[in-house]
Amino acid sequence: MKPIFKYIPVAMMALLSGACTKDFTAINTDPNTSGTISSQYLLSTVLVRTAYQYQKDNFTGKPAEAARYITKIKNENDDLFSWSAVSWDGYYQYLSYNHELYNLAKSAGQKQYMAVSQVMRVFNFSYITDCYGDCPYSQALLSKDSSVAHPKYDKQEDIYPNLLNMLAATNDDLAAVTQELSSSYDVLYKGDLKKWRKFNNALRLRLLMRISSKDASAYTAMQTMLSNPDKYPLFESNDDNAEIPFLGKTAGDSWQGGNLNYTSTEIDKYRPSKELVDQLLALNDPRLPIWAAQVTSTTDYTVDPNVYVGVPNAISSPYGYNGGDAHISKLAGILYSNANSLLPASLMTYAEQCFILAEAMQKGKVTMRGETAASMYYKGIKASLSFYGISTQAQNDYVGQEAVSYNGTLEQVITQKWLSLFLKSSEGWFDNRRTGLPVLKPGPLAAITSIPSRYLYPLTEQSVNLDQYKAGVAQQGEDLITTKMWYLK
């Protein structure tokens, strides 16, 4: 497993991180005149690399098709669920950077960097296990420190409690920190440790909800947090969103749909799905024109007369649907940008947190002073609409519709959450696996009859870590996209 878990030499880390961070003026000033990497510089590398890769996965990767936000009309294997193995090298690489950050900060007594490093450790490891299930965890990242070249696959049921305990401890660590975090190098929160606490705790809610059907203590932990908001601060508005802007100056720091990453011809292959567009149309949703473009012709269509037409997933000749290109929507113009304020690299949002709490309260599992399931549901919707610049009056008109007005069902809560997670597709996919909502159709030509449950392990595992790979498969189940991980069983 050395190709994945070996440490990248420190000098190489600086070189690699420069591609993503060189356009942040402060970060571009290399502080390492002594020839050693600083905690600040490694922090910016971890944040930018993680956020940009995560957002790329959520827009042009498999999660966008798994959650049925996007239909790929050419090169359709992802859309058809004919999924090949997916590399996890990038995320383990960022974890390696982060491990080095933690060790450097620890040796320097920089508790503030140690704490935020733990938040990012949880974020990256939780994403890996959410995608694959059982994975290298306890022995990962040890090739330098302990010469562990072939790390075992830990059970997801063991990984998750460790991650959640880490977040609980990190909240306390962040509260106790007296040292400042560099506002220049913290490209996520500009050195605001209170916002880091909020992100830490919002992430904990996400993970607790993820395992709530398997771990009866998950809601108890949620309630403990909600009963003591001073100790466990949470997101309060979109100002707390965990997101990093794209600068749009190089391929490495540009939004994924812009011409620095894709030609128009390439990005034209990605179309809004019929399931997304039809849901937005049915609800008179004001986000529709922000996400999708109108068709260029309303004559000679074959099945759909609307001015917004999504493409069904997993059909024959999707590029010819409804009479062809002039009769199907492209993504909206902003999604062809190199940078736009509505298109950050987003790790977690206030809207998502609101819907997590709405779900927990709708199920009668937790209470929150001054709030109800309905109030959190409305706050989640309005937070998403507000992010996209929808006026207060338009927000009120939207939620006032009979189809949107809270009706007390989980289906309604999760459907609105699914809409808010457009461009945050992994969370839409993970929620659908967990709840079955909204009801998504694989499509007539899909290789399987359900939404995929996981990624296939990287092919390199069978060449460089075969024994541990075999043990992992024996432990979890066949290496198939339909095999359910622990918290889905």
Q: Write down the pLDDT at residue 36.
A: 65
pLDDT tens column, 347-358: 999 999 999 999
* Cβ contacts of 470 within 8 Å, gap of 6 or more: none
Rounded to whole angstroms, the Cα distance separating 24 from 190 reads: 12
Chain-wide mean pLDDT for the chain?
93
Using alpha carbons, select from 335, 372, 146, 137 the residue that is nearest to residue 248: 335
Two structure tokens written together for 25: 């003026």
Domain assignments of the chain as residue spans, ordered by start: 87-238+456-488
Using alpha carbons, select from 412, 454, 416, 419 the residue that is nearest to residue 433: 454
pLDDT tens column, 71-100: 999 999 999 999 999 999 999 999 999 999
Domain 87-238+456-488 CATH class label: mainly alpha
φ, ψ dihedrals at 71, nearest 5°: -115, 125
pLDDT tens column, 370-390: 999 999 999 999 999 999 999
pLDDT tens column, 8-61: 333 334 333 333 333 333 333 333 333 468 999 999 999 999 999 999 999 999
Rounded to whole angstroms, the Cα distance separating 71 from 90 reads: 25
Q: Write down the pLDDT at residue 489.
A: 96
Other beta carbons less than 10 A from residue 320's beta carbon: 15
* Cβ contacts of 438 within 8 Å, gap of 6 or more: 275, 279, 411, 414, 415, 418, 432
pLDDT tens column, 143-160: 777 789 999 999 999 999
pLDDT tens column, 229-278: 999 999 999 999 999 999 999 999 999 999 999 999 999 999 999 999 99
* pTM (global) more than 0.75: yes
Q: Which residue has the higher pLDDT, 25 or 480?
A: 480
pLDDT tens column, 270-319: 999 999 999 999 999 999 999 999 999 999 999 999 999 999 999 999 99
Q: Write down the pLDDT at residue 62.
A: 98
- The SS3 of residue 286 is coil
Q: Write down the pLDDT at residue 147.
A: 83
Q: Write down the pLDDT at residue 27.
A: 36
| Cβ–Cβ < 8 Å for 458, 87 | yes
pLDDT tens column, 129-148: 999 999 999 999 997 777 89
Q: Write down the pLDDT at residue 23.
A: 39
Residue 408 has pLDDT above 60, yes or no: yes
Q: Write down the pLDDT at residue 34.
A: 37
Residue spans of beta strands (DSSP E) within 58-189: 70-72, 135-136, 153-154
Residue 326 has pLDDT above 50, yes or no: yes
Rounded to whole angstroms, the Cα distance separating 184 from 176 reads: 22
